[in-house]
Amino acid sequence: MTRALIKGPVGDAALPEVDMSTSLGGLALPAPILTASGCAASGRELDQFFDLTSIGAIVTKSIMLNPRSGRATPRMAETPSGMLNSIGLQGPGIDRFIEHDLAWLEERGARVIVSIAGGTVDEYGKLAARLRTVRSVAAIEVNISCPNVEDRGQVFACRAGSASDVVHAVRRHSDPRMPLFAKLSPDVTDIVEITDAVVRAGATGVSVINTVLGMVIDTDTMRPHLAGVTGGLSGPAIRPVAVRCIWQIRQAFPQLPIIGMGGVRSGKDALEFVLAGANAVSVGTAVFHDPSAPSRIQIELQRALGARGFRRFVDAVGFAHRPADLPREEDPDEFDFISE
């Protein structure tokens, strides 16, 4: 946090030369750090803290077909190394989003991944069709895992069949070349099974993980703290869950594009996701703590990669999966951890 308090390069030392470019199933990005959906609104508010074009892409807050008020307050509770939220997908609806938010992002020159959310399979299809006419969309993230819907049965990502139906509808209504990422919930027995279903339905890759369903009870009022009763847990508290999910999916799908997210707060955290198999890393709740976090983390990641001898970001993707008997070229003891 204290490293990037004034705009500009982090620290005094020159950045090591690392090619930070990455690829997400046909979508080439100059850098691997993204914002996480729901934690950056549509980017505009963060532009005063860092250059939006300096990171890989802005992933916008999940947009629905119609304007949506979201849920009653309180919508948030701080928890140990995390927070619980129950916003309920408040937003202006797709038309105003395209006119107002996407137009601004395009003008600003940021790369944009649009997150969409629907109440029905049909709604997802309509959203995809509506976005088909918009040039500035680099990829679509299909949010099938928001935990803050009235009917938990509506969390499409909790069952392979419903997850598949949604992705299929979005694929059918999208440009065939449009990269689609299904955002998955960790609240399932077997995330590999869900991944398999969405890939078969036409997803280019997956975004893992959405928040973990949680709950806080206020011990003074002795009632649930959130108006929505349950909420999504995010922040460093859930980071090991995210690393595990990325690891399992990478093991099962060696070539699948994966966007990793869930409690990343530093460059070293992002590196952990990359080593587990993420081709790009979204920064979410950390933004609430440090609004310049995405750009700071990207620079820290570049340093961390350089310090470990990587010349290209892509070489680190899934590196933790290498066979145990495969030696590194250098002895890890020689790495300069202090310089990070």
The binder of other proteins chosen from 25, 41, 309, 320 (CB under 8 A): 41
User: Helices 160-173 and 121-131, interaxial angle, to 10°?
Assistant: 30
Given the rule CB under 8 A, which of 78-86, 174-182, 188-196, 327-335 is the region that contacts other proteins?
78-86
CB of 88 vs other proteins, minimal distance in Å: 6
d(CA 8, CA 338): 21
Phi, then psi, of 190 in degrees rounded to 5: -140, 100
Judged by CB under 8 A, does residue 111 bind other proteins? no
CB of 56 vs other proteins, minimal distance in Å: 18
CB of 22 vs other proteins, minimal distance in Å: 24
Cross-strand partners of 138: none
The binder of other proteins chosen from 32, 56, 88, 179 (CB under 8 A): 88
CB of 33 vs other proteins, minimal distance in Å: 16
How far is the CA of 19 from the CAs of 31, 54, 313, 314, in angstroms? 8, 14, 6, 8
- Amino acid 111 reads R
Given the rule CB under 8 A, which of 46-54, 137-145, 203-211, 313-321 is the region that contacts other proteins?
46-54
d(CA 329, CA 340): 21
The binder of other proteins chosen from 82, 179, 257, 267 (CB under 8 A): 82
Q: Nearest-5° angle of CA 165, CA 170, CA 176?
A: 125
- Amino acid 269 reads D
CB neighbour class for 243 (10 Å; exposed up to 12, middle 13-18, buried from 19): buried
The binder of other proteins chosen from 9, 15, 81, 312 (CB under 8 A): 81
Judged by CB under 8 A, does residue 69 bind other proteins? yes
Pairing of strands 205-208, 212-215: unpaired
CB of 300 vs other proteins, minimal distance in Å: 12
Closest CA to 25 of 199, 267, 221: 199
Judged by CB under 8 A, does residue 119 bind other proteins? yes
146 catalytic per annotation: yes
Which residues in the 214-243 window bind other proteins by CB under 8 A? 227, 235-236
**Cβ-based neighbour number of residue 199 at 10 Å:** 19
264-293 footprint of other proteins as x/- string (CB under 8 A): ---------------------xxxxxxxx-
Q: Nearest-5° angle of CA 68, CA 72, CA 74?
A: 135
CB of 30 vs other proteins, minimal distance in Å: 23
Q: Give me the active site residues, please.
A: 146
Residues near other proteins, by CB under 8 A: 1-2, 5-7, 39-41, 45-46, 48-49, 61, 66-76, 78, 80-83, 85, 87-91, 93, 119, 149-151, 227, 235-236, 285-292
